[in-house]
Chains A and B, each alone.
Chain A
């Protein structure tokens, strides 16, 4: 696919991606104001934000396969933005938990992080995503050089932790986390097959 050109990307496509990415957040705020989040709004907010965090992680990981399969290098320009929205929703998810579930009690937070494995892995995932978000500006990326590539490989670990976090809070029906896990494995599988095919030692992208 041919590039639509720098101007169109900057002034049309990027604002469009921002707009679309913010829809779930706007819906959450709208639902909160209008009392349309169901009988347990706190739970709805927590679930919706967490799932969108996971979805944006998978969407971010879809960029590279899409670039390769459609030979459209310009799509790579959207990866940073989508990754930041992944962090945004995961951070909102964490804030909802910290405020509504824990009433901002950091003693409860410490207890959860150390005693409850699903929180431990979830929190680790959040820390990883925060590091990736902080180092996402182009200037920092240029300064870090190859270290940046190594650090951003941790997105895969964050994905695994996110899916395990979801799986470990499930009571009996694990259909949903399994579906996210399946898509994640597809995206990883594509990369592995490609890497083996090329037989290079370059890091995964």
Chain B
């Protein structure tokens, strides 16, 4: 499958432009292939799955129209995106998340909304997703480890979700948490590599920026567990770890919330963690990155190439201090 778009990792020049037709064909294949035959057999094994009200989600995802392309940069393959992951809840190795993916149970799923808002409460995933029109957006993803990908996400603007909860004027930040059950820890949560649960946060204006996406799918399919099913954040101008996966809690707070990597090492990982080639990680360079599928590195772009859309958020701020 990976060879339909990228013939060989070294044949970069041939693949600079996404072959849209191939991708659409593949999506059609996926739709008819996976969701009819495999979907039926899955339903046979788990009758409750077929009953779930989320059953139309795969169709909504595969029908989502593209609203944002990325010219001149090839998509990473589905295989690359779903087998090379940082998701420490499922293990610290890059292939651990896909190998341990079945440990993450996403049905049923609910999200607790708390803090400075008029409509707190616990919402079922279907209630969270129901009113939103899903769209596909192709974004760069830049990991703090200096590798990157180009991913076709399917989701909806976080701003639209936030507005439904009617945050009060005290809500200056939004904090997120990933699933963590002390009694039933995920494989990677059995070791204190990070202080579980995983926590992330955004300033309110960052969260409301139109680029910030709540993703439920990728490549026309429901988001695989190893990529943060069933609901994850995508903040394309920040290092990947800011895009928290498998979200179970959203809280509106007045003060800058604690965030996992900042708690683990505040000198190396700031609250903002905007992609910035001029500010190196304390241990390694952030000037260049390796696009997965390529051997050599390329230059990293300011705000990961989204400068025009987000630079205004940080006007007058010392980006070295607020790294």
Contact = CB atoms under 8 A, between A and B. Distances in A.
Contacts of A115: 280
Given A35-B9, A116-B284, A172-B92, A41 B84 contact: no
Interface of A is mostly: helix
A111 B285 CA distance: 9
Interface in B257-297: 264, 280, 283-285, 290, 292-293, 295-297
Interface string A113-136: 001111000000000000000000
B213 to A, nearest CB: 23
A39 B88 contact: no
Contacts of B283: 116-118, 168-169
Contacts, number: 56
A160 to B, nearest CB: 18
Given A35-B9, A39-B293, A40-B292, A172 B88 contact: yes
Contacts of B296: 100, 103
B190 interface: no
- Most chain B Cβ neighbours within 10 Å, of A112, A117, A173: A173
Contact of B9 (A41, A103, A117): A41
A178 to B, nearest CB: 13
A23 B303 CA distance: 43
Given A35-B8, A116-B285, A171 B293 contact: no
29 contacts: A35-B8, A35-B9, A38-B84, A38-B95, A39-B79, A39-B83, A39-B84, A39-B293, A40-B84, A40-B290, A40-B292, A41-B295, A42-B290, A43-B147, A43-B290, A100-B290, A100-B297, A101-B297, A103-B296, A103-B297, A115-B280, A116-B283, A116-B284, A118-B283, A171-B145, A172-B88, A172-B264, A173-B88, A173-B193
Given A40-B84, A40-B290, 16 more contacts: A35-B8, A39-B79, A39-B80, A39-B83, A100-B290, A100-B295, A103-B296, A108-B285, A111-B285, A117-B283, A118-B284, A168-B283, A169-B283, A171-B145, A172-B88, A172-B194
Question: What 10 pairs across the A-B complex have the smallest Cβ distances?
Answer: A39-B84, A173-B92, A39-B80, A172-B193, A173-B193, A42-B295, A39-B292, A100-B295, A103-B296, A40-B292
